[in-house]
Amino acid sequence: MIETAVIENSLDVYAIRQHFPVLNRQVKGKPLVYFDNAATTQKPQVVIDALVNYYTGYNANIHRGIHTLAEEATAAFEATRDTVQQFINAASREQIIFTKGTSEGINLVAQTWGRQNIKAGDEIIISSMEHHSNIVPWYILCQEKGAVLKFIPINEDGELLVDEFEKLLSNKTRVVSIAHVSNALGTINQVKKIIAEAHKAGAVVLIDGAQSSVHLDIDVQDMDADFFAFSSHKLYGPTGVGVLYGKKHLLENMPVYQGGGEMIKEVYFDKIIYNDLPYKFEAGTPNIADTIAFKAALDFTKAIGKEKIRRHENELLSYATSNLEQVPGLKIIGRAKQKISVISFVIDKIHPQDIGILLDNRGVAVRTGHHCAQPLMDCYRIPGTTRASFALYNTKEEIDALLTGLHKAIKLLA
């Protein structure tokens, strides 16, 4: 159990760190500084324990078995659905569909709702700051249907130009699919406004919550999103599990995605009756262990409190931003007024990959490259950035280690 008493009043980052065993390791003889949280977060012991407990205590396939192990596994698996429903304030548990991750959620919508509803000449609007997972599924659909993909431009600070978005909207717009938060820049997009405008034009809106779900409070009903997709592994949970939320009438009318066990009610030689929501979209044996452990991750962050986590991460963001600004030749890419704790930067005359290697030699893990957002890099006319992304267990001392590493890299390479 997480020691809620320790972290009741303020976020005691040193107590929190004790819950993450990997943070005790060394890399290249130095204490690990893990700043690649936007790619995936580290896992607390409660999540690891939940995985071990399932495999050692009640490993069984779910839903169909009547024996004790199957019933225990089913109850634990379905309990995650209830926790996710509360986590995003969905109206009902039937609207929570388990997927492999955000990418699969977006592909599911493109391949089911999209294939059913998009025709030649229709328009799909995404933005210039999307992750490839929110570009490629729509590109494939547009290629197949003869539809047109449009991109909302951004300003130099990495904020969406909402006025330009409004100009792109028309009666041809069928889908608007936008990241709630940019993985490469940290920008928080004004999704409520975007959704409202898109709805006025009669479009359906998907929000890519891969980066927002860990930092922001998510209320899909208040936001009025038609679809919302996110991944467990960016939320201190295991890899291989994600969630697609959808409005009930949309999910009910969508054709099935993949075929297999669980997504059917009855199968005959000449006809098939598909299952009800959410199982209609969950073909085959799901990722049982990881889905069960995802609940442990959600309970863990809930016990600490998102507000408290946010405050801590914002402090790290301002500390890192003001100190990085002092580094000679360093330019921060993405200076939106509303940001989560992600900082991308470039340094004059040094390739991001060289920075990444030199930092790794000092135990500091950052991400370098295009961050699966190549069109965004084209907007800035750069091949990539170095990105440090902070989580609830990071400290100012770790940011100091990053700064020392950068100064050394500049001395060596610039």
Ligand X SMILES: Cc1ncc(COP(=O)(O)O)c(C=O)c1O
Residues designated catalytic = 372
Given candidates 179, 185, 343, 409, which one binds ligand X under the rule CB under 6 A?
179
Give yes or no for residue 215 binding ligand X (CB under 6 A).
no
Which of these segments, 42-50, 100-108, 164-172, 270-278, binds ligand X (CB under 6 A)? 100-108
Among 94, 122, 197, 208, interactor with ligand X by CB under 6 A? 208
Stretch that binds ligand X, among 29-37, 204-212, 295-303, 319-327 (CB under 6 A): 204-212
Binding-site size, ligand X (CB under 6 A): 12
Pick between residue 179 and residue 205 the one whose CB is nearest to ligand X. Answer: 179
Min CB(182)–ligand X separation in Å = 7
Q: Determine which helix (DSSP H) or strand (DSSP E) holds 205, and give its type and residue range.
A: strand 204-208
Our finding on whether 385 is near ligand X (CB under 6 A) is no
Q: Which of 37, 42, 183, 389 binds ligand X (CB under 6 A)?
A: 183
Q: Virtual CA dihedral for 104, 110, 115, 116, nearest 10 degrees?
A: 100
* Residue among 101, 240, 286, 363 that touches ligand X (CB under 6 A): 101
Q: Which of 58, 294 has the CB closer to ligand X?
A: 294
The residue (of 101 and 405) whose beta carbon lies closer to ligand X is 101
Question: Smallest distance, Å, CB 153 to ligand X?
Answer: 18
Residue type, 244: L
Any contact of residue 301 with ligand X (CB under 6 A)?
A: no
Bridge partner list, 331: 346
119's tokens: 């025709």
φ/ψ (deg, to 5) at 316 = -65, -40
CB-based contact 308:320 (threshold 8 Å)? no
CB 169 to ligand X: min, Å: 22
**What is the residue-wise DSSP string for 116-158?**
HH--TT-EEEEETT--GGGTHHHHHHHHHHT-EEEEE-B-TTS
Q: Report in angstroms how near the CB of residue 340 gets to ligand X at its nearest.
A: 11
Q: Check residue 213 for interaction with ligand X (CB under 6 A).
A: no
Least Å from the CB of residue 6 to ligand X: 31
Report the distance separating Cα 106 and Cα 110, nearest Å. 6
What is the distance between the alpha carbons of residues 319 and 313, in angstroms, rounded to a whole number? 10
Q: How far is CA 329 from CA 131, 324, 406, 410, in A?
A: 27, 10, 11, 9
Cα end-to-end distance, the chain, whole Å: 49
Distance in angstroms (rounded) separating the CA atoms of residues 93 and 29: 47
Q: Read off the tokens for 342.
A: 């992600």
Binding residue (CB under 6 A) for ligand X from 83, 173, 231, 341: 231
Half-sphere exposure of 108 (CA within 13 A, CB side): 31
Residue type, 291: T
* Amino acid in position 133: S
Query: Which residue bears the tokens 């889905």?
Result: 291
- Beta carbon nearer to ligand X, 134 or 394: 134
Residue 102 binds to ligand X (criterion: CB under 6 A): yes
Residues 114-173 that bind ligand X (CB under 6 A): 131, 133-134
Least separation in angstroms between residue 109's CB and ligand X is 13
Residue 376 sits in the site that holds ligand X (CB under 6 A): no
Q: How far is the CB of 118 from ligand X (least distance, A)?
A: 21
Residues near ligand X (CB under 6 A): 101-103, 131, 133-134, 179, 183, 208, 210-211, 231
